[in-house]
Structure 1
Amino acid sequence: MQSPISPTLRRRRLARELRRLRESRNLKLAAAAKESGVPLSTISSIENATARRIRPRDIDALADLYDAASQEREALHELTSESKQSGWWSSYKDLFGGNALPDFEAEASVIRTFEGLTVPGLLQTPEYASAVFRAGRVLEEADVERRVQARMERKSIFNRIKPAHMVAVIDEGALRRVIGGPEVMRDQLNYLKNMALRHHIDIQVLPYSAGAHLALAGPFVLLGFPTPKDMPIVYVETAVDGLYLDAPEELERYTLAFGNAQGVALSTALSFQLIDDILRSLESTP
């Protein structure tokens, strides 16, 4: 299965290329707007990668102003077209919001995640995910099913010809917390073991004995992309929304936190053994 296109990444690439072309001509935004006839607000939104509707004629006007070569112009139009495409996640805007995590996962080559409370979403079984969403009984059953379906759809990234390499550091407490009952938890842990056997998935358990570490603030995901010009991003889920961070200092802070948590976590082999130990402790639980 080939990777779907990430419209957000395409908008970011388009923004980067148009900014580079403008700056290579030593033009300020206001001057570019005046000389091209493209509104300043439009150029600004394109260069900030926030424009949702980009007109081909505006791209042509800017390409003319910047004396873009034919290949550059063609690439700009291709990026513009791809930035308008919709992935499967567009059907779940009510769940993911304007910026969908699957949009970035679609083209991520490396996904590093730290989770302290539950099994990471990409590694959950449907039954476990259902139990997570049912917690507190605040959602209608139809809403639970829809959220589970969306979460299972995200796993399609593992079926690509070149699947994303996932490194998951999971706190021991998340594996010992019985969510959905013993049977659901046993199935979840067995599924986790099976996923750990895949060559592109590394699972490390952060044991209680590790003590304090730099990821104590909470779970987060670091996403890296195959093209060096596509800068990594950090996703932090909150109770009301998801935050996307890409400032250099933010990336550095979360990269350091992940490295510290991974460094004190068990190796993949010892993590596998600990999961087995937890499974055995559940065998006597009805």
Structure 2
Amino acid sequence: MTSHSPNIRRRRLGHVLRSLRDKAGLTLEAAAKGSGVPRSTLGRMETAEARRLRHTDLDALADFYEVDTQTREGMHELARQSKQSGWWSRYKDVFGEHALPDWEAEAATIRAFQAQLVPGLFQTPRYAAAVFRGGRAIGEEEVARPVEARMNRQAILNRVKPPRMTAVIDEAALRRLVGGREVMLEQLEHLGHLAMRHNIDIQVLPYEAGEHLGMEGSFTILDFPEPRDTPIVYVGTATTGLFLERPEEIEEYNVAFGNLQGISLSTARSAELIGEIAASLKEQT
């Protein structure tokens, strides 16, 4: 199992192919006709939608664009890496076809706003189990697998070069008794420990902040170390996850996150508030 992102590799290959076509001053139709690669196939390759990347198509394009040996080998290497499976492929039943961990695997920074819950990367096993149970009367075996998948996601925060994680959490998420007082106390104490890490910033959006640009729901912005790997926004829904990549979409969510950070408590005051809420719960248990 690979630890890098196959999706990122497909995007990089798409950027290479698109830049070669742009440099040649060709339309998609002209490049497809000249290389002998079907237009629909070339279009999907350039937009990183193609899951099957044939060596014959890559060689045909390399020949047509008259690339050097290094570029040709790089194209094939990206195609090879895009076919490798990450650990998250074992949890397709949990993550679906488009897995958020695929993008998290290579993110340099992760900025998340959570309005209702503690972010998944920060959740304790018992808190996560309560979230997946969602108040329903179901057996532990039905929540064990998604909890296991969520705990595996958190490994990126413990790697040698972890991503910079900035989370803005609505105060409501900290006061909601998910799983009951004991589970919530454990979760709040865990948040307090995470807030002390060098690569993690936690800010609380207090009730008194009033209206804000995140009122339509939670979202996550992922940035990558390579400039050619453009940012992506993930918006979770009740049934699936939506990935946004258009520049205007990214800009809109960047503005929203900046607004949320600006009206949230400082990291120091946020840590104090988390501690105060935990202390209050401890008195009640």
Q: Is this a same-fold pair by TM over 0.5?
A: yes
Match of 1:269 in 2: 268
Distance in 2 separating the partners of 1:141 and 1:56: 46
Letter in 2 for 1:155: Q
Distance in 1 separating the partners of 2:93 and 2:137: 16
Offset at 1:116? Answer: 0.9
Offset at 1:140? Answer: 4.9
Distance in 1 separating the partners of 2:5 and 2:109: 15
Q: 8 Å contact 1:124–1:188 — kept in the other structure?
A: yes
Letter in 1 for 2:37: V
Match of 1:27 in 2: 26
Offset at 1:72? Answer: 0.8
Aligned pair 1:213/2:212, yes or no? yes
Alignment of 1:232-271 (within 5 A): 232-271=231-270
Q: Which runs of 5+ in 1 are unaligned?
A: none
Q: TM-score, normalised by structure 2?
A: 0.97
Match of 2:112 in 1: 113
Q: How many residues align?
A: 284
Q: Aligned to 2:53, what secondary structure does the other structure show?
A: coil
Distance in 2 separating the partners of 1:136 and 1:183: 16
Q: Aligned to 1:235, what secondary structure does the other structure show?
A: strand
Q: Aligned to 1:284, what secondary structure does the other structure show?
A: helix
Letter in 2 for 1:76: M
Offset at 1:247? Answer: 1.0
Deviations 1:76-103 (A, max 9, x none): 1111111101001111112212211000
Q: Aligned to 2:169, what secondary structure does the other structure show?
A: strand
Letter in 1 for 2:177: V
Q: 8 Å contact 1:133–1:139 — kept in the other structure?
A: no
Match of 1:159 in 2: 158
Q: 8 Å contact 2:3–2:87 — kept in the other structure?
A: no
Aligned pair 1:227/2:226, yes or no? yes
Match of 1:184 in 2: 183
Q: 8 Å contact 1:111–1:222 — kept in the other structure?
A: yes
Aligned pair 1:203/2:215, yes or no? no
Q: TM-score, normalised by structure 1?
A: 0.97
Q: Aligned to 1:11, what secondary structure does the other structure show?
A: helix
Letter in 1 for 2:145: R
Offset at 1:66? Answer: 0.3
Distance in 2 separating the partners of 1:238 and 1:122: 17
Deviations 1:198-224 (A, max 9, x none): 100000011111111111111000000
Q: 8 Å contact 2:21–2:27 — kept in the other structure?
A: yes
Match of 1:102 in 2: 101
Letter in 2 for 1:90: S
Offset at 1:35? Answer: 2.0
Distance in 2 separating the partners of 1:163 and 1:271: 22
Distance in 1 separating the partners of 2:277 and 2:230: 38
Match of 1:169 in 2: 168
Q: Aligned to 2:284, what secondary structure does the other structure show?
A: coil
Q: Which runs of 5+ in 2 are unaligned?
A: none
Aligned pair 1:41/2:44, yes or no? no
Offset at 1:138? Answer: 6.8
Q: Aligned to 2:134, what secondary structure does the other structure show?
A: helix
